[in-house]
A and B are shown apart, each in its own frame.
Chain A
Amino acid sequence: MAEVTQLIHEYLRHDKKFPHVLCPGCGHGILLGSLIRSVHALGIPKDDVALVAGIGCSGRVAVYVDFNTVHAVHGRALTVATGIKMAKPDMHVIVVQGDGDALSIGGNHFIHAARRNIGLTVLVLNNFIYGMTGGQCSSATPLGCWSTTTPYGQMEKSFDFVEMTRAAGANFVSRGTVFHVKTLDKLVRQALVHPGFSLVEVLTPCHTQFGRKNKFKSPVDMYQWLKKAAMPLEAYEKLDPDKRAGRIPIGVFVDNHEPALETRYAAMRAKLAKG
Chain B
Amino acid sequence: MTDPNENHVKPNRDRLSLRIHCGTAVVVVPFLVSIAIAATGFARFQQNVDRLTAASHFATRMADVERDAVEMRQHVVAYTHGGNAGDADAVTSLGNTLLEKVDGARADAPDDESRGRLDRMHDHLTTYLGSFQEVVRERRLREQLVRENVLEPAHDVTRRMNVLSDDGPAATGRSSVPDEFARRIGTYVSLAEARLLQFLSDPDARLVDEGLAALRLGIDEWSADHPDGDDPVLARMQELEHGFLRTVQATRAYLYLAHVVMAGEAAEFAFHTEELKRRAEDELVSIGTAAEDDGRQTAQIVLVVSLAAAAVGVLISLMISRTILRPIRAITETFNLLSRGEVVGSVPGLDRRDEIGEMARAADVFRSRNRETVALLDTTRRMTDELDGKARELEKRNEDLDSFAYVASHDLKSPLRGVACLAEWIAEDAADVLSEESREHLDMMRQRVDRMDQLLDDLLAYSRAGRTGEEDEVVDVRELLTAIRETIDWPADTRLHVDPSLPRVVTTPVELQRVLQNLLTNAVKYRSQDAPEVAVEARPVGDDFVEFSVADSGIGIAPEYHDSVFQMFRRLHTQDEIEGSGMGLALVKKIVETHGGTIRVESEEGRGATFFFTWPTGRPDGPLAESAGRPETSATPLLEPAPLA
Q: Do A and B form a real pair?
A: no
